[in-house]
Chain A
Amino acid sequence: MASGIRDKVAILGMGCSKFGERWDREADDLMVEAFEEAIADAGIEKNQIEAAWLATAIEEQHVGKSGVPLAMALRLPLIPVTRVENYCASGTEAFRGAVYAVASGAADIALALGVEKLKDTGYGGLPQRSRGNLNTMWWANFSAPGSFAQLASAYRTKHAASRDDLKRAMAHISVKSHDNATRNSKAHLRSAITVDQVLGAPLVAEPLGLFDCCGVSDGSACAIVTTPEIARSLGKRDLITVKALQLSVSNGVEAQHNSWDGSYFATTRVASKRAYQEAGVKDPRTEIDLLEVHDCFSVTELVTMEDLHISAEGRAIHDVLDGFYDADGTIPCQIDGGLKCFGHPIGASGLRMIYELYLQMQGKAGPRQRKKEPTLGLTHNLGGFPHQNVCSISIIGRA
């Protein structure tokens, strides 16, 4: 196996805009907001950046195609800029591009920036767009909540869980993330909610109710990366480095072959195992101390706890209800509010997850800071649908 990315690249600086309904901001305003924080944090000049990656998923809704929107917004000095898209995992794709550029020696300092300006559609939820000439002629007329909702019926069938137990665990997940977001001034949804509110909310797609679904937000997040040597030469101490970057993409087995039972993410299981190997993690349940996962829906977060090999198969409901993933639990999950409440500006989300780990590891997370600073964190950035998706895992930690 390849030697992997472990400790070859350090994070030099990060930034994140406020997420939410940014009615008064254009996409380029959001990009600048995230970038200014990151470059100040990095302590470098813009012309030291040698390559950049831009992540947007629904670009036809805001900036349009190509790397040009990023180069224009930041007035980058004619450097290479690549625009990437990989469903909702686009943000981590930008990060991968920048990290690999540095690791390869192609660039000393590289930028990854994700942005999405979704709140110009005229309606709530994700924009509805063509899925391609042929796909639209035969794919089910499914929405994001409707495709993820099916995890629930399959999971219940496999583990003989009652609808009530599953709904309660899902409600606990949403209540926890709302509570966490009350301590995050950049979060989109900052009000606490109760289990009864979750259970009593109108259904969006059986069994997902309104509070089982994450917000759709405007926002941007960015990272500036370099080698550990350059970071130290720039005066950085206590470096935070990339331990693993893994991506797994469905090849049609889940959607077309009867070996998948619909209750889990085949890609997440593979990508997380590879990531642990790359990072040298033997037992994630005892070694990982902070999680940011792709909680687009409460049930996604629930099954992901098993797919990351942290909760045993069929045990996620119990771990969740026992508070294992709460802010004061053993491994907090979504301590910043997650997609659920920090918000989900698609292209930015993967970078926002890394941003939270980066803040927590430096003790800079404000009112939501873990007492004992985490040293090894994992982000899980998922795109697509349970039966057809891309899963990006990153592990970062103290060098």
Chain B
Amino acid sequence: MARGILGYGGYIPLRRLSRAAIAQANGWFNSALKSRAKGERAMANWDEDSVTMAVAAARDCLGERSRDEITALHFASTSFPFLDRLNAGIVAGALNLKSVVAAHDHAATQRAGTSALSLALEAAEAGPQLVIAADKRQTKAAGTLEMDVGDGAAALLVGSGDVVAELVGKATRTVDFVDHFRADGFAFDYPWEERWIRDEGYQKIVAETLGALVKQTGINAADVSAFCMPCTLPRVVGSLAKKTGLRDEAVQDNMNATCGETGAAHPLLMLARALERAKQGDLILVAGFGQGCDVLAFRATNRVADFKPKVGIAGHLARRREEKNYHRFLSFNELVTMERGMRSEVDKTTALSALYRKRDMLTGFIGGRCSICGTVQFPKSNICVNPNCNAAHTQEDQPFADLPGKIMSYTADELTYTPDPPACYGMIQFEVGGRIMMDFTDIDPKDLDVGRPMDMVFRVKERDPQRGFIRYFWKAAPAASGTSDSGG
């Protein structure tokens, strides 16, 4: 049976930081930035990290598809929030994957995403494998990396059977070529000279891997319709294409102008974007570079037009809010010490035993549905909240993550501490029943309105600065599709 890609999706945060704003703030210090002050880069909200973006990308990929068949979850990143706590485990919980799922964190290289994809394809016979890559890399102020990097995630469901793109072949090389590194305990990359990386790294290691793939699969390089390879150095990918015999038109836009390079996620994000545009028979190459190289070749099947991610890469690129406030970016990334005030000093110890006991509620966003009266409610409780029912021990699991909801009441709070004031929150009422007084995110206070449709998103609720723990929960964000009702 054909092995390959069953579905794909991605996630790009709503805010796009204008590079002109970066250059304006830092050009006095690094005048080279001025020539790069074009386009914009994706900027995670303060309540996003690799885990939350991974969940968003996976939901984009999986849509309404049953998740019960997924046998393994591969999560790749170089910016995992936890060094010792399975990050893929948090994602599996938020996606309500069955506990028999195997889950792996793939770390420590920019090609972690392609390596995870490669491994997952090898295990495809065992059942559908969910591959997610996400990165939110920290960068120093006024460096070129700050301009080049973007935050984002991509997800691929791979397996055998009704694939939208079949694996044609893959090749890999492992070489301890240190173009940059980020050591334990260090927040930032330490890079070496770009010309050396270009000539000794890309032009040799990637070229060799590409050549091996062409040889081993017997494909005609000129037949390749999409070559997905991230690289922020100019002209490198074009030159590699030429050297390998790929057509110029095959070279895919690296989304530098619209998103920036999303680290370990970027090859998969580019692949997902190419799949969105692919027609049956298209040959697609994806390459990941980092202490070696992975190259994978896929051919789009007759099912490629049938699959649609929920929002997709094109959809996420179109859903954007320009951010011109560079200082907000510094603050969200804790690159500047803000006066948070005493209200921010509340102790944020998380009772891990309570979190575990209530993991279905807090991570999986499972509420209750009364089997007697049908009332949907959150949280799930012993006694039905419907005053005309109050039946005891009747509630079945009711997932809330995909329920359509609307704002019933709201405020924009200037008093309570939040990294992005004003704190917007209110009562969300779900169409099928149930309501939650919950935090809003990704919303402009001007857009607050009774009746506005809202989507549920998995986000950071609190960071505990004393212990480093991160609490996640669900928030309401303006619906990806749909507009505000008149509401009143």
Interface residues of A (CB under 8 A from B): 121-123, 125, 128-130, 133-134, 136-143, 145-147, 149-151, 153-154, 156-158, 160, 202-206, 208, 251-253, 255-259, 261-262, 387
Task: With A121-B342, A137-B461 as known contacts, state yes or no: A205 contacts B415, CB within 8 Å.
Answer: yes
Which residues of chain A are near B410, meaning CB under 8 Å? Answer: 150, 153, 206
Task: With A121-B342, A137-B355, A204-B415 as known contacts, state yes or no: A258 contacts B435, CB within 8 Å.
Answer: yes
Partner of B429, one of A151, A153, A258: A258
Query: B416, A142: Cβ atoms under 8 Å?
Result: yes
Partner of A256, one of B342, B378, B451, B488: B378
Beyond A205-B414, A252-B385, 10 additional pairs, beta carbon < 8 A = A128-B417, A138-B438, A138-B473, A142-B413, A142-B423, A143-B416, A150-B409, A205-B422, A257-B377, A258-B433
| Residue of B387, B425, B429, B434 ringed by the most chain A CB atoms within 10 A | B425
Query: B409, A128: Cβ atoms under 8 Å?
Result: no
Question: Is residue B445 contacting chain A, with contact meaning CB distance below 8 A?
Answer: yes
Binds A, one of B7-15, B95-103, B279-287, B343-351: B343-351
How far is it, in angstroms, between the C-alpha of A149 and the C-alpha of B437 when the chains are bound?
A: 13
How far is it, in angstroms, between the C-alpha of A369 and the C-alpha of B437 when the chains are bound?
A: 43
How far is it, in angstroms, between the C-alpha of A387 and the C-alpha of B436 when the chains are bound?
A: 10
Interface of A is mostly: loop
Which residues of chain B are near A261, meaning CB under 8 Å? Answer: 408
Question: Is residue B174 contacting chain A, with contact meaning CB distance below 8 A?
Answer: no
Q: Shortest distance in angstroms between A93's beta carbon and chain B's nearest beta carbon? A: 25
Residue of A nearest to B388 (CB): A259
Residue of B nearest to A131 (CB): B346
Per the 8 Å Cβ criterion, residues 168-216 of B in contact with A are: none
Query: A387, B427: Cβ atoms under 8 Å?
Result: yes
| Residue of B387, B411, B415 ringed by the most chain A CB atoms within 10 A | B411
Residue of B nearest to A256 (CB): B385
How far is it, in angstroms, between the C-alpha of A112 and the C-alpha of B347 when the chains are bound?
A: 33
Instruction: Flag B360-387 by CB within 8 Å of A: 1 or 0 each.
Output: 0110000000000001011101000111
Residue of B nearest to A149 (CB): B411
Which residues of chain B are near A133, meaning CB under 8 Å? Answer: 351, 354
Q: Shortest distance in angstroms between B281's beta carbon and chain A's nearest beta carbon? A: 49
Per the 8 Å Cβ criterion, residues 18-33 of B in contact with A are: none
How far is it, in angstroms, between the C-alpha of A146 and the C-alpha of B439 when the chains are bound?
A: 11
Q: Shortest distance in angstroms between B450's beta carbon and chain A's nearest beta carbon? A: 5
How far is it, in angstroms, between the C-alpha of A121 and the C-alpha of B342 when the chains are bound?
A: 9
Query: B409, A154: Cβ atoms under 8 Å?
Result: yes
Query: A262, B473: Cβ atoms under 8 Å?
Result: no
Which residues of chain B are near A157, meaning CB under 8 Å? Answer: 450-451, 487-488
Task: With A134-B358, A256-B377 as known contacts, state yes or no: A206 contacts B347, CB within 8 Å.
Answer: no
Query: A387, B415: Cβ atoms under 8 Å?
Result: no
Residue of A nearest to B430 (CB): A258
Query: B362, A137: Cβ atoms under 8 Å?
Result: yes
Which residues of chain B are near A151, meaning CB under 8 Å? Answer: 409
Query: A262, B375: Cβ atoms under 8 Å?
Result: no
Which residues of chain A are near B385, meaning CB under 8 Å? Answer: 251-253, 256-257
Question: Is residue B341 contacting chain A, with contact meaning CB distance below 8 A?
Answer: yes
Query: A140, B439: Cβ atoms under 8 Å?
Result: yes
Query: A206, B346: Cβ atoms under 8 Å?
Result: no
Query: A143, B377: Cβ atoms under 8 Å?
Result: no
How far is it, in angstroms, between the C-alpha of A394 and the C-alpha of B359 when the chains are bound?
A: 43
Per the 8 Å Cβ criterion, residues 431-488 of B in contact with A are: 433-439, 445, 448, 450-451, 461-462, 471, 473, 487-488
Task: With A122-B342, A157-B450, A258-B435 as known contacts, state yes or no: A134 contacts B354, CB within 8 Å.
Answer: yes
Task: With A133-B351, A206-B445, A262-B427 as known contacts, state yes or no: A146 contacts B346, CB within 8 Å.
Answer: no
Q: Shortest distance in angstroms between A379's beta carbon and chain B's nearest beta carbon? A: 27
Question: Is residue B426 contacting chain A, with contact meaning CB distance below 8 A?
Answer: yes
Per the 8 Å Cβ criterion, residues 386-421 of B in contact with A are: 386-387, 408-418
Q: Shortest distance in angstroms between B380's beta carbon and chain A's nearest beta carbon? A: 10
Query: B414, A154: Cβ atoms under 8 Å?
Result: no
Residue of A nearest to B429 (CB): A258
How far is it, in angstroms, between the C-alpha of A137 and the C-alpha of B469 when the chains are bound?
A: 12
Residue of A nearest to B384 (CB): A257
Q: Shortest distance in angstroms between A253's beta carbon and chain B's nearest beta carbon? A: 6
Partner of A150, one of B358, B411, B423: B411
Which residues of chain B are near A150, meaning CB under 8 Å? Answer: 409-411, 426-427
Task: With A142-B425, A149-B413 as known contacts, state yes or no: A160 contacts B488, CB within 8 Å.
Answer: yes
How far is it, in angstroms, between the C-alpha of A202 and the C-alpha of B413 when the chains are bound?
A: 12
Partner of A146, one of B343, B355, B387, B425: B425
Q: Shortest distance in angstroms between A307's beta carbon and chain B's nearest beta carbon? A: 16
Which residues of chain A are near B361, meaning CB under 8 Å? Answer: 138
Residue of B nearest to A126 (CB): B415
Query: B377, A140: Cβ atoms under 8 Å?
Result: no
How far is it, in angstroms, between the C-alpha of A205 and the C-alpha of B410 when the chains are bound?
A: 10
Query: B415, A257: Cβ atoms under 8 Å?
Result: no
Query: B413, A258: Cβ atoms under 8 Å?
Result: no
Query: A257, B435: Cβ atoms under 8 Å?
Result: yes
